[in-house]
Amino acid sequence: MITKDMTIMEVLQEKPDCAPVFQQFGMHCLGCAIAHGETVEEAAQVHGHDVEELLAALNAL
């Protein structure tokens, strides 16, 4: 299960098929340095999305 405290990179390592979901939410820099330390919650905030909505999409896979 993906949680808001996981980093983007942790999510991608656990579920590589989540990459398109991040991209749908405008998060295109999945391989950059920020992805290694930014949590799902932080990414949602920075990109102006509701973290629960993003989590629902990530966990639906």
Please tell me the predicted confidence (pLDDT) of residue 15.
94
Phi, psi of 36 (to 5 degrees): -75, -25
Please tell me the predicted confidence (pLDDT) of residue 35.
72
Which residues, in sequence order, are bridge partners of residue 7? 39
Phi, psi of 30 (to 5 degrees): -75, -20
DSSP state of 29: -
Distance CA(24)–CA(5), nearest Å, equals 20
For residue 53, give both structure tokens.
């909505």
Please tell me the predicted confidence (pLDDT) of residue 59.
97
Task: Summarize pLDDT for 40-57 with one digit per residue, the tens.
Answer: 999 999 999 999 999 999
Q: Which domains does the chain have, with CATH numbers?
A: 8-59 (1.10.3910.10)
Share of the chain above pLDDT 90, in %: 79
Task: Summarize pLDDT for 7-47 with one digit per residue, the tens.
Answer: 999 999 999 999 999 999 998 777 777 778 899 999 999 99
